[in-house]
Structure 1
Amino acid sequence: MIEAVWGWPPPVLDPAGPYSAQVTTLSWALFALGVFVTGVVVVALWVAIKGPPNWKANLGGERAIWIGGVAFPGVVLTALLIWGLTLTASLTEPIRGDEMRIRVTGEMWWFRVEYLDPDGAVMMVDANEIHIPVDTPVVLELESADVIHSFWVPHLSGKKDMIPGRRTLLRIEADRAGEFGGVCAEYCGGQHALMGFIAVVHEPAAWQSWLADRMDTLANAAEPVAQESQRYPGDADLYPTEAEYLERYDARRGYDLFMETGCAACHRIAGSEANGLAGPDLTHIASRRSLGAGILPNHRGTLIGWIGDSQSIKPGNRMPSYDRLSAEDLGHIAAFLELQK
């Protein structure tokens, strides 16, 4: 799923914001310098093996060593260091305090996302997905709940470690709308390679509408059990009529199973008695683009598969497989979760 939003060219060479553009410029300079130095080494090697005797003597002389081995690297590397620090100075500018803030906590192996109000209080919780507006600086408060992780959206900024017991800050900003893949960039255990997320960048008006919808959902949250008018008709090929679908997959039955089988002990859904904090918040799970921290597209089939046997999909993750549930029961739970938008 993350690969699908990265696209081509590689994200480190396809900046979508001012902070990533600086990193990309520095990267191209390093590539160019690397090619130049490689060329010099190849030429020197050819001279040492095939060159005329006087060239070989000059190449191995004391003057060549001082110029090529000491002076040239010292001048070039010093100039590169000064230029690089100047170029990326904005990445370490002091935080003003009036920026939009999102707290992201790395956990094994997913990302908890909390949107903060101007006073620093949590106003909305999500997982493995962040939503931001175009042309708006955003400060990410990065934390870790267990081991060292690292937050990286190559299109939008550099990477920053998430260290247990500390809070680090990272600026990101996008200059175009789109969906951009992000990953944990620090080895954090067996499923490190399957720990990703998606950054969704909206036009300002669209982002305000998205935020208003989310806040309205939270403000009016009630017991999130499907009513007749809310239930999904399902696949037309399998269930030609809504009645047939409802007979097969019942979201109310799914809610009961969700509460009875222990899901509510780890997951929270606003407006319900499910208030678990160990796992991702599922209040808006139906609107997310992926499951399992960016490894699966989000639809009914993958949702059923993840609930039923997450350990075969992402071995060692902290959600047990519910293989004791029947296919019918898994379908009921998925039908209920499909309503959580």
Structure 2
Amino acid sequence: MTDRSTAFDAWWGWPPPVLDPAGPYAESVTVLAWVLFGMGVVVTAIVAAALYVALAGPARLKAKLGGEKMVWVMGIGFPAVVLTGLLIWGLTLTASLTDPVRGDEQRIRVTGHMWWWDVEYLDAQGRVVLRDANELHLPVGRPVVLELRSVDVIHSFWVPNLSGKEDMIPGRTNFLKVQADRAGRYGGICAEYCGGPHALMGFVVAAHNDADYRRLLAGGGFATPARIDPQAVPGRMPAIRRATAATASGAPDGQALFMANGCAACHRVAGTAANGLSGPDLTHLSRRLSLGAGILPNNRGTLQGWIADSQALKPGNRMPSYDMLSAREVAAIAAWLDTPR
């Protein structure tokens, strides 16, 4: 699906750029930002000129500047007109961000967790058909409606290249439209302080041409909840081998180690007994661009480092470090997770 070896070479840096629109919704926000910057410069120049007159100008101008009429005009009338005009124009310019949902757009549900993102692709009836984490895939040239939720504290979803910010509030669903007009990768962040490693809560957005996007969805490029091994249902769970289990070649068994060390309590891997929901779904981890919610490139080396000591890489995240495992055991788990499914 993606060439992970060059993923970070073509990425956005950190944090992502905020004045480089790649779609119509971000374009309107960027125009508004530049106008506000310009007005800020104009107002600052006027205030500086008035201050100069008050300090070093001729007596006649000082008298006018301190007069009652000037106070009414420049102290009340000017700010009221400028701010009211900017408010009305800004709301009109960015109205498209809250346009009513037509119903035929691609819908994606994004749920904020401390400190990662659960991503669910929905069908026309609102049913979950595909699932991913910390990564969002969009079709080029088509608006996508995001259903934004949170399960713990207030987060804020923001992809500066594609749209404005929208809060994710526990107990309610907010909607945001995004659109990418060119294929590529874009960075997203949480824009509302949510405690702990908030500054390291990012995600990746990948925009594909329409044919590639449909092929990704149809080909199982993301984790699919429906693909569950019959043995994984309650009552038919296969016996978990000991953590010291080995493969026929004598190497540690990555899947057995994953199950025996409690990883399945938090993570799901389709086709196995791992059905945890408190951490990201790892079914298609091998296809993802990043690890740790957008902070590391996804390759075998970084995956081993994350498993062994995630707290050193993202202090305060909810995954414990597994420094009790040997290097061979960590490598075995990483190799199993990095196997395409």
TM-score interval for Structure 1 and Structure 2 normalised by the shorter chain: 0.7 to 0.9
Shift of 1:3: 10
- Match status 1:57 vs 2:63: yes
Please list the CA deviations of residues 135-175 of structure 1 after superposition, one character each: whole Å capped at 9, or x if unmatched: 11111111111111110000000111111111111111111
- Structure 2's unaligned 5+ residue stretches are 1-6, 231-247
Shift of 1:23: 0.4
Residues in 1 aligned to 2:13 and 2:300: alpha-carbon distance in whole angstroms? 25
Shift of 1:267: 0.8
- Partner residue, 1:85: 91
Shift of 1:11: 2.6
- Match status 1:66 vs 2:72: yes
Q: Is the 8 A contact 2:200 2:295 kept in 1?
A: yes
Q: Is the 8 A contact 1:148 1:162 kept in 2?
A: yes
Please list the CA deviations of residues 180-206 of structure 1 after superposition, one character each: whole Å capped at 9, or x if unmatched: 000011000111001000110001111
- Partner residue, 1:284: 284
What SS is found at the alignment partner of 1:6? coil
1:238-317, aligned counterparts within 5 Å? 253-317=253-317
Residues in 2 aligned to 1:249 and 1:196: alpha-carbon distance in whole angstroms? 35
Residues in 2 aligned to 1:337 and 1:81: alpha-carbon distance in whole angstroms? 51
Residues in 2 aligned to 1:216 and 1:15: alpha-carbon distance in whole angstroms? 27
Please list the CA deviations of residues 188-226 of structure 1 after superposition, one character each: whole Å capped at 9, or x if unmatched: 011100100011000111111221221698577769xxx
Q: Is the 8 A contact 1:2 1:182 kept in 2?
A: no
Amino acid at match of 2:267: H
Please list the CA deviations of residues 251-286 of structure 1 after superposition, one character each: whole Å capped at 9, or x if unmatched: xx1111111111111111111111111110001101
1:309-328, aligned counterparts within 5 Å? 309-328=309-328
- Partner residue, 2:331: 331
Q: Is the 8 A contact 2:28 2:94 kept in 1?
A: yes
> Kindly tell me: are residues 300 and 2 of structure 1, through their superposed partners in 2, closer, same or farther at Cα, counting changes over 3 Å?
closer
Amino acid at match of 1:256: A
Q: Is the 8 A contact 1:2 1:196 kept in 2?
A: no
Residues in 2 aligned to 1:128 and 1:40: alpha-carbon distance in whole angstroms? 46
Shift of 1:249: 5.7
- Partner residue, 1:40: 46
Shift of 1:5: 2.3
1:169-188, aligned counterparts within 5 Å? 169-188=175-194
- Partner residue, 1:144: 150
- Structure 1's unaligned 5+ residue stretches are 224-245
Q: Is the 8 A contact 2:16 2:187 kept in 1?
A: no
Amino acid at match of 2:27: A
Q: Is the 8 A contact 1:249 1:331 kept in 2?
A: no
Query: TM-score normalized by structure 1?
Result: 0.88
Residues in 2 aligned to 1:44 and 1:248: alpha-carbon distance in whole angstroms? 82
- Partner residue, 2:340: 340
Shift of 1:321: 0.9
Shift of 1:6: 2.2
Amino acid at match of 1:42: A
Residues in 1 aligned to 2:96 and 2:220: alpha-carbon distance in whole angstroms? 32
Residues in 1 aligned to 2:318 and 2:297: alpha-carbon distance in whole angstroms? 20
Identity %: 63
What SS is found at the alignment partner of 1:21? helix
1:152-171, aligned counterparts within 5 Å? 152-171=158-177
Root-mean-square deviation (CA, aligned residues, Å) is 2.2
Residues in 1 aligned to 2:289 and 2:133: alpha-carbon distance in whole angstroms? 11
Q: Is the 8 A contact 2:16 2:186 kept in 1?
A: no
Amino acid at match of 2:72: W
Residues in 1 aligned to 2:280 and 2:261: alpha-carbon distance in whole angstroms? 17
Residues in 1 aligned to 2:323 and 2:117: alpha-carbon distance in whole angstroms? 25
Query: TM-score normalized by structure 2?
Result: 0.88
